[in-house]
Every structure is written in structure tokens, then in C-alpha cells.
Structure 1
Amino acid sequence: MSKIFRFFAVIIIGFFGTFAALNYFFGAEQNVPAEPQPSSLPTANFGFDSPSAVDPAPDSSSRDTTPAPAPENPCVSKWQKCASIDDLFEKYNGIMSARASCKIAADHSAKYGDPKWPGFWSGGAFQRFSTSDDFRKTGLIHLVETEAQFQNGFGAMVHTTVICAYDLKDGSVKDVILQEH
């Protein structure tokens, strides 16, 4: 082949793809199978030794091998059913609402400016909690944030520990305590 022919072949391959270029230069026909046409004559199946009347044996490869879904943990929707405080914070769906409510309440209790909270990559706000398991009796949990920064009267950001008392019974914040360190 000449150099010019190769040059144009490379350009056409780049623009149209390999198969389009081969079809263009060598005239290859596409062998696309025709779609099967439905028979225009009706067929009757009376069930006498007809292969279609017999169900094939179940193939082991066609069986659904996915495990049955595990029953839902009752702690997911009811905080009273959680076995421990760790179980509550890992599985209870309402814990995100508690974290958000505590953050909003702490924002409102800031005297000067807007506080800075831990970001997404560090886990977000209120990743710590009190370890008392009496939440089933009282309905109160204590969320703790040690990495928050609140502005003081001089405009400087001060590292502050925020302790939030959250009532699981009615879904409200009962108290927010700010401790500068």
C-alpha cells in the first residue's frame, strides 16, 4: 500500500471506527441475521407428546441463589427496641434528625457569629455520645461535639465542646451546653 493510502486509512479509522473503515476499503458486507418472523398459520397444541407441553427440568444455573432478605432490626424504627446506646447510634434512623436538631439549637445559642463545625470528611457534627444505657427509661440521649469552634467577644474562634440533651420521646432538644477549652 502506498503511504497516502495508509494515511487516509488511519484518518478514516479515527473518524469512523475500525469496522466502518474496513467496510469502506474492502467492501465487507454486514452479516446481520434477519429477525425471525412469526408464523402466520395458527398451531394447535393438544398436549400429546408435544415437546412444548412438557416442562423442562429445572436447571440449577437458572435458580435464584440470592439469599432471602434478613428481617428488619426493630431498632431501626423504634428507639425503645435498641439493645444498647451503640446499637441506637449505629442503627436507629432518627439519630440523624437528633444530630441535625442539636446542631441547629447550638447555632442559635451562639452569642457571636456563626460556629464552625467538623466537615463531611471528619464525620460531621455530633459523632460522639454519652455511654449511658438509661436512654430506654428516660428517653434522653446526650450528643457530644468536641471539635466545634465558636466565636468569642473578641472575634476569635475558640475550640468548644458542645453537649446536647435530646429527647427521643418527642424529638426535641432539651438543653445545649457550650464549654470553651
Structure 2
Amino acid sequence: MHRRVAVLTLLLAPLTATAQVNPSSPAPQRPGQAAPPQGANTADPVYRQGQADRAAWEQWLAGLTGQKAAGAAHWAARRSTQNPGSCFDGSQLREWSEGCADARVRLALPDALRRSETQYRLGWNAPITVPTASDNRAPVPPSATAPAAPAAPAAAVAPPRLPPDETACRTDWRRCADNAQLVNNFRDWALVQTRCKRQATDLARYGDPVWPWFSFGSFLRGDDYPQTGIVVAIEPRAQFGNGFGAKVNSRVTCRYDLNRGEVVDVQVTGL
């Protein structure tokens, strides 16, 4: 346990050095704020990350309106049930489905961490409360000089990327070590292949293309997929029709955004 905390602290060091926070000290507690849940280690970076992620989720959800808000709230309430259903069953409005799908993507990583990391779950269940004007503050004495300009808000710090883990990679693409591990282990890679094939088929001008039995089995080497969430799936052996009624061997390149769960673009080139 001590070793895991030490490793995570080293990972967080470049992001928190300017804050001069002692990682061995508990997070400060404002007057009136609820005490941490039983078993919580408020000095654990994983616990604090759970708090920050929950606060970010609540802030995003509060900014939605209408059908998007309803769809997001539906997924948040149903996601832990045995059969949460689909965001795209054809019976809902498009905005509702988009809100539901966005919530599904945003909650995928927190849900995986809540199941695998006890301190993260405790932090998620005790989110950071945004300070309000009712907090106790020292009164500002009157001054004869002009008031100083308000201080610029602190820059947001991106959450640290947790270390790669092959088991966690199955449900969370951000935990994959490289592109190959993501393609071979991430459970929703088949969804990427299916959506890329559907999008390319919709672009065909002269009839449906001919696809090999296993489509979009190729990808680019490297480690940018789990770092950015933008993946490239390639099918080098498709056949697309031309204006003369013939099928032409074609290479299809599909860019897909795992963050949003949608195809970015598809390019078809003849061979």
C-alpha cells in the first residue's frame, strides 16, 4: 500500500509542485464541510482524484439543459444496473441520445476506478465542495485608493494519467500501454470497427462496398491512441464500386474519437 502511494505521488509531482502541498498531510477541511467517509485516506492522491473527478462530473452535468440533461441523468442513474439499456434504441430524441452517450463516455473511467480503487471510490463519494460567498472571510477594510484588479483564476490542472494496466485496459482505454494493447484488449474496439464500416458504407456512391470477413483489423503502431483517445482503424482490402460498374480494391482509413464515441472522418483511396 505504501509503495503504491509513493508511485502515485511521484506521478503527480510535476503537476502539483507549484502548489507546494505536502502529500503526507490531509486535504484541508473548511468549516461546516462533512467529515471524510470512514476508511478514507485524504492524503492519498487517488482519493483526491476521485474527489476532483466527481466535482468535474457534477459541474458538467449542471451545465446541460433540456433533453441532453435528461439523457445524461438517465445514464447516470441506470449505468450500475444489470441491464442499463442503450442510448440509441431509436425511441428517443437525438439530443437525449447524445446526452446519454456523452455521460456514458465521461463516466466510463470513473466507474472503472470506483470498482478497482477503494480510495478513489471514497473520494468520488465525498466530492470537493465549491466555495460560496457564505464562507467565513475576513472583512476587507475600506481604502482611499482604487481597488485592485481581481486576481486571475488559477489555471486548471489536467488530472494525472494513471499507470498502464493490461487488466484495466479491457474497460478503460486510458490504461492501455500502447496502441496494440488497446486494439487487442479494449472491449469496445469492436464498436469502433462496426461504426467505421457503417460510416464508410454510407459514403459509397456506387452501391455497397465489399468488405472482408474481418474488417478494420489494421492500425497504426505507437502509443498515441491511449494518450489522446483519437484512434485510426484501417481496412486495406475493401472493394468500392466506380462509375463504370466495377469494384476497385480500396484502402479505407477511419479516425475515431473514443472520448466522444463517434467517427471523426473516413478516407477511401483506390489501390
- The equivalent of 1:141 in structure 2 is 231
Q: How does 1:23-102 map to 2 (within 5 A)?
A: 73-102=167-196
Cα 1:82–1:72 shift into 2, 3 Å: closer
- The equivalent of 2:258 in structure 1 is 168
Is 1:106 the equivalent of 2:200? yes
Q: Which has the higher helix share?
A: 2
Aligned-residue offset at 1:136: 2.6
Q: Does the Cα contact within 8 Å between 2:178 and 2:224 map onto a contact in 1?
A: no
SS at match of 1:106: helix
CA RMSD of aligned residues (A): 1.5
Q: Which has the higher strand share?
A: 1
Q: Percent identity?
A: 38
Q: Could you tell me which of 200, 211, 218 is aligned with 1:117?
A: 211
Inter-partner Cα distance in structure 2 for 1:132 and 1:151: 33
Q: Specify the code of the residue in structure 1 equivalent to 2:231.
A: I
- The equivalent of 2:217 in structure 1 is 127
Inter-partner Cα distance in structure 2 for 1:129 and 1:72: 19
Larger Rg: 1
Inter-partner Cα distance in structure 2 for 1:137 and 1:99: 20
Deviations 1:111-138 (A, max 9, x none): 110000002xxxx000001113112332
Inter-partner Cα distance in structure 2 for 1:166 and 1:101: 9
SS at match of 2:209: strand
Query: How many correspondences in the alignment?
Result: 107
Deviations 1:130-174 (A, max 9, x none): 113112332101000011000001110000000000111111000
Is 1:157 the equivalent of 2:247? yes
Q: Specify the code of the residue in structure 1 equivalent to 2:216.
A: F
TM-score normalised over the length of structure 2: 0.38
Q: Specify the code of the residue in structure 2 equivalent to 1:143.
A: A
Q: Specify the code of the residue in structure 1 equivalent to 2:203.
A: S
Inter-partner Cα distance in structure 2 for 1:98 and 1:108: 15
Cα 1:110–1:139 shift into 2, 3 Å: same
TM-score normalised over the length of structure 1: 0.57
Inter-partner Cα distance in structure 2 for 1:174 and 1:132: 20
Unaligned runs of 5+ in 2: 1-164
Cα 1:168–1:84 shift into 2, 3 Å: same
SS at match of 2:190: helix
Inter-partner Cα distance in structure 2 for 1:158 and 1:106: 15
Inter-partner Cα distance in structure 1 for 2:166 and 2:173: 14
- The equivalent of 1:12 in structure 2 is none
- The equivalent of 1:49 in structure 2 is none
Unaligned runs of 5+ in 1: 1-70
